Structure formats: structure tokens, C-alpha cells
Amino acid sequence: MYFSPPEISLVGNMFRHAGELAEDYFRLGRNGLKNHKYEVKTLAHLDDHEVDSKAFAHLCRYQYQKENDADHTDNFYFFKICLQDDRILDAVNRSGPFVKLAPLMLYIAAHEIVHVVRFDSREVSFDAPLKEKIVEEEKVHSITRNMLQPVAETGIDLVLDCFSSRYQIGDICN
């Protein structure tokens, strides 16, 4: 099950909105997220290793290395937020009239962008041991909740109640 064209448009809008909220929350300034290299892909555009049956989204980190030179100044890491359309749509369908796609996608987008900012600014290691990743996930849930406070009346509160503790929002791969 893949996102339809209107759903893909909604996903893009929710990531833009989450990006604006992240820029405000982290005081990055307008367009401050452009300093954090990431892209968002839906299930139809993922490689096999980017598909995860346990999460709504899967964060992968890749390294661009110029001319096989590990010390080149133009080398950088970038992140791919891998959306699991089937898991997201299944959660919305199973919730009946309660959880709508827009607030769920806003939460997922905000959550993954928080990860990108924290990993890219080296607040936490992407390669941390599992125990530290579990602690980091709780921290990201908390930051995401705080970041979304200005839009709490848009149905996001129900998403927070329904999904934040029972479902794994995101996962991480190297």
C-alpha cells in the first residue's frame, strides 16, 4: 500500500510545516534546516534495506565521500527519512475516524526532523549503542511533543495519546 498523489502532497506539506516548527524550536532561523542535509522518500522509492516493518519511518545515514579521500573537506553525511507508507496508512485505517493522516504525518515529520537536527549537530551519536538509542528515542519523543505544542488543537494531541507509547515512530540504520 503506497501513498496516493494527494497523500504525497499532504506528506510534503506536513514536512514543510514540521520544518518551520523545528526552525523555531531549535532557533535555527528561517531556512535554517537547509544546513542539515536530508531528504524524504516514500515506500515506492526505497531500497530494500530502507524498508522497516516495525516503524512508521526509518532514518538512514549516508556519507558522501569525494574522490575516495576520507579526509577531503567536501565530505559530508546526509540523512534519508524513509517513510513506511503501508504502516502509516494501516494505522490511520485501523483507528477509524479518530486519527487522521495529516496530524499523524505532522508528528512523524517533526519526530524525524528532530532526529536529523540532533544527529547532524552531534548532540548525540548516530552510532550510539542500543541502550543509548533507547534513551535518545525518549528524549526525541519529549522534544517533539514540546515542539508541537503550538499546534496541539489540530488533532495532534490524539496522535500523541494513541501512538507515542504503543508504536515505534522511527528507527535508525547506518
Please tell me the predicted confidence (pLDDT) of residue 174. Answer: 45
Looking at the predicted structure, is the pLDDT value of residue 135 above 60?
yes
Average pLDDT over residues 120-128: 94
Please tell me the predicted confidence (pLDDT) of residue 31. Answer: 80
User: pTM score, two decimals?
Assistant: 0.90
Query: For the chain, what are the domain ranges?
Result: 5-173
Residue type, 162: C
Q: Rounded to whole angstroms, how far apart are CA atoms 121 and 16?
A: 20
Looking at the predicted structure, is the pLDDT value of residue 170 above 70?
no
Average pLDDT over residues 10-19: 97
- Assign 162 a pLDDT band (cuts: 50, 70, 90): confident
What are the residues whose beta carbons fall under 8 Å from the beta carbon of 152, sequence distance 6 or more? none
Highest mean pLDDT among 63-72, 94-103, 110-119: 110-119
Average pLDDT over residues 52-78: 87
**Terminal Cα-to-Cα distance of the chain (whole angstroms):** 26
Please tell me the predicted confidence (pLDDT) of residue 165. Answer: 54
Please tell me the predicted confidence (pLDDT) of residue 70. Answer: 74
Looking at the predicted structure, is the pLDDT value of residue 168 above 80?
no
Q: At what angle do helices 156-163 and 101-120 cross, to 10 degrees?
A: 70
Looking at the predicted structure, is the pLDDT value of residue 24 above 90?
yes
Average pLDDT over residues 67-73: 76
Q: What is the mean pLDDT of the chain?
A: 90
